[in-house]
Chain A
Amino acid sequence: MIRSHCILRTERRGIHVDQSDLLCKKGCGYYGNAAWQGLCSKCWREEYQRVRQKQIQDDWALAEKLQREEEAAYASSHGVQTQSTTPPQPGHTSLGPFSKFEEKKTNEKTRKVTTVKKFFSPSSRTASKKETQEGKTSPSISRHASFDTDQVSKDFVEFLKNLQKPGREIHKQCRAFLVNMSSKKDLGADELSECVQDFYQNLADRQMTHFKGSSESVEQVMDQVEKYIMTRLYKSVFCPETTDDERKDLATQNRIRALHWVTIQMLCVSMDEEIPEVSENVVKAITDIIEMDSKRVPRDKLACITRCSKHIFSAIRITKNEPASADDFLPALIYIVLKANPPRLQSNIQYITRFCNPSRLMTGEDGYYFTNLCCAAAFIEKLDAQSLNLSPEEFERYMSGQASPRCSSAEGEWPHTGQGAGVAATNPVLAQLNHNLEQLSSISSRQEKVMEAAQSLQADLLSWTESVQREVNDILEKYPLTCTVSAIDANNIDNDNLPPPLTPQVFAG
């Protein structure tokens, strides 16, 4: 099946295609279609119908078989049930209710079977088949129907809806352009770039002249067009095989790897990574420049570069306490690029240059930062001993890995022989790590102390209750409670000595 597909493809690509290959395989004289397995529409429908009918019959047969099995199983289990669960009840000797119950049960059963049958019924069957059929016939749609592109297309259509007539026109042109581009995959990168740039230019001009759009609205539309077009074309035009972008990417990547030993001091960068806020900005800048590769639209890539640059500016500003100039910025950006080793740096630069609106690259803030990135990349390529203020011998030694500037203070000794603090001083991350470790150990020692104190407190509490108990006991022993009855009360016991209670006297008269 796969092989036949391949053959069909190659035949389609070739100029000469045999007439008989195009005709319906059934030999009805009409043209066939690869999607219909080489049949014409009529024969395909017949064939499909036949296969489907057979499938339905098979399904029915299977369903019936299942039903029979189930019934048999039910009957046997039911037989056991009647014996055990329904003992003959003296009050209900008539078979009436029981048979009714039986009836109900079988009803339930058949209903169950019908649902099973329904599952195999033609309607659901065809639906699922149709789906698979669709999937088979339109590989081109499924291929680039990734979530991203769908979302972008949807957004684009939404955006154009607001523009009414010009929007429809723009959409039509974009679609036509995309179709046109898909046939030009073999063109060189520069030609592709030219095609896209021409398309941008023509579309913008058309909007200006035909729809009397203001340049600002045209710019907005063009941004959306760029987003849509480039998201769709990205896979075929980013780092295309016709160029040596990939080779350059690898070369740059290896170059940056080989330069891992370059320190912030060698580049004369005015960023002090010991300051936490600065190192935070440095990390963010590195993240942003790496993120560039994940974006598809040139403008989004530019935005990553701009964000990265802003973080660098903040870092320099915090370090120097004054706004950063270009003299500070470019070295810092070079340092960030060396630290980040952004994936596919050259491809990304090329892609942006080829497919971004050129005015955005030569002017504007984004353009400025992009230019700086290009400078940084060019500088790294040409970087030599002189540009790092090193002697050529030193540079050679570092490049070959024979020596590392980090332990140069220890005169070529291995780093572990040098003091740990010395290593930490050269590497801010290590310094931070050491600092954190120290803090952690101090916290754990403090916790130990707290635990000790808590335990002694507990012991104290226990001994305190004991001592109190003891004291109480002592006191109780010392001063035993003796109940001595006082004299008055003792006297009172004897009621006889008391004068008789007063009795009311009644005076007559």
Chain B
Amino acid sequence: MGESLPRVHGGAQQHSDTLRRPVHTLRVKMVLLGSSGVGKSSLALRFSKDEFRSTSPTVGCAYLTQVVHLSNATLRFEIWDTAGQEKYHSVTPLYYRGAHVALLVYDITQRETFVRAQVWLKELEKQYIPGSTVIWLVGNKGDLAHDRQVPLEEGESLASNKGLYFIETSALSGEQVNELLQSVAHRVFECIGAQQGGLTEWQETPTVDLRHKDSFNLFASCCKVGP
């Protein structure tokens, strides 16, 4: 499974599968925000590895990609990790320009990270264009529930007050991580994908593309017309 499907020559089953599916892949920019040490990077690694095939060799986990297949679309997530240290706070607005999804991550065992998440949220709201960004509040380190400092209800109420989506995950055990990515994909496609110019199509560089096997005329392929 993954974005390399069109390039698989042997796998007939997979191939017919892709043909039935709508061909276009939409690109989604997802930004991870949160204090350092809350597990943003681990979460990002989980997103791109666990069960899914990693799309790029991991020299770093600051920029990762992951493809999610929905029933009527394929989304290619570009996951942007941000520096969580407080001293870089002033420059982070640059990261979430044009982001479709923002994940506000906090550590449920550290109250201050929850407070910091609210600061990020305020910052985000300054830049926020309603309907252009889907924001999730993510309480990470669910596996350390015995050291919990932020009750589940507190997170939920903050989310409902601010109109955010909420989930608690564990990047360590992988619990709820895929569920998070799947529901993010659905929400993003529902909220933004339908809009005009909401999500742009993503194209792999056509090196060994089946569609181009017969003719090399760049304009010959007809099945894909942009949004």
Q: Could you tell me which A residues sit within 8 Å of B by CB distance?
A: 162-164, 166, 207-208, 211-221, 268, 310, 313-314, 316-317, 323-331, 359, 362-365, 368-369, 371-372, 374-375, 378-379, 382, 386-387
Contact = CB atoms under 8 A, between A and B. Distances in A.
Nearest to A314: B59
B225 A214 contact: yes
A476 to B, nearest CB: 81
A163 B216 CA distance: 10
A218 B227 CA distance: 13
B167 interface: no
A163 B218 contact: yes
User: 5 closest Cβ contacts across the A-B interface?
Assistant: A325-B41, A362-B98, A216-B203, A326-B81, A217-B218
B168 interface: no
B60 to A, nearest CB: 4
Interface stretch (B89-97, B107-115, B146-154): B89-97
B66 interface: no
A364 B78 contact: yes
Contacts of B82: 326
Nearest to A165: B219
Given A268-B85, A379-B90, 17 more contacts: A166-B219, A214-B219, A214-B226, A220-B218, A313-B62, A317-B59, A317-B60, A325-B62, A326-B40, A326-B62, A326-B81, A363-B98, A364-B78, A375-B92, A378-B94, A379-B87, A379-B91
A95 to B, nearest CB: 81
Contact of A213 (B88, B206, B218): B218
B88 A375 contact: yes
A22 B41 CA distance: 72
B168 to A, nearest CB: 21
Contact of A212 (B91, B92, B222): B222
Contacts of A207: 219
A317 B29 CA distance: 25
A323 B78 contact: no
Nearest to A220: B218
A371 B218 contact: no
B45 interface: yes
Contacts of B37: 327
Contacts of A387: 87
Interface in B181-221: 200-201, 203-206, 216-219, 221
B226 A208 contact: yes
A208 B224 CA distance: 10
Contacts of A327: 36-37, 40-41, 81, 83-85
Chain B interface category by residue count: 35 or more
Q: Quick one: which of B40, B60, B95 has the most chain A CB within 10 A?
A: B60
A211 B219 contact: yes
13 contacts: A162-B216, A162-B218, A216-B205, A323-B58, A325-B40, A326-B80, A327-B85, A331-B83, A362-B98, A365-B78, A371-B97, A372-B62, A375-B91
A363 B206 contact: no
B56 to A, nearest CB: 8
Contacts of A378: 90-91, 94
B27 interface: yes
Contacts of B206: 216-217, 220
A386 B87 contact: yes
Contacts of A213: 218-219
A362 to B, nearest CB: 3
A164 B219 CA distance: 10
A323 B41 CA distance: 9
Contacts of A212: 219, 222, 225
B75 to A, nearest CB: 13
A324 B59 contact: yes
Q: Quick one: which of B27, B82, B205 has the most chain A CB within 10 A?
A: B82
Interface of B: 27, 29, 32, 36-37, 40-41, 44-45, 58-63, 78, 80-85, 87-88, 90-92, 94-95, 97-98, 200-201, 203-206, 216-219, 221-226
Given A215-B203, A218-B226, A323 B218 contact: no
A372 B31 CA distance: 13
B146 to A, nearest CB: 26
A217 B59 contact: no
Nearest to B87: A387
Nearest to B24: A215
Nearest to A377: B91
A362 B85 CA distance: 22
Nearest to A210: B219
Given A316-B60, A378-B94, A215 B224 contact: yes
Contacts of A328: 60
Contacts of B98: 362-363
Nearest to B23: A214
Contacts of B201: 215
A363 B78 contact: yes
Contacts of B97: 362, 371
Given A212-B225, A214-B221, A326-B81, A219 B203 contact: yes
A363 B29 contact: yes
A387 B50 CA distance: 36
Contacts of B219: 163, 166, 207, 211-214, 217
Contacts of B78: 363-365, 368
Contacts of B200: 359, 363
Given A212-B219, A213-B219, A362-B97, A310 B88 contact: no
Contacts of A368: 62-63, 78, 80
A382 B60 contact: no
Contact of A325 (B60, B87, B91): B60
Contacts of A221: 218
Given A359-B200, A375-B92, A324 B61 contact: yes
Nearest to A311: B59
A220 B90 CA distance: 36
A208 to B, nearest CB: 5
B95 A371 contact: yes
A363 to B, nearest CB: 5
A324 B225 contact: no
Nearest to B221: A214
A365 B63 contact: yes
A268 B226 CA distance: 45
A109 B16 CA distance: 87
A326 B94 contact: no
Contact of B94 (A211, A317, A375): A375
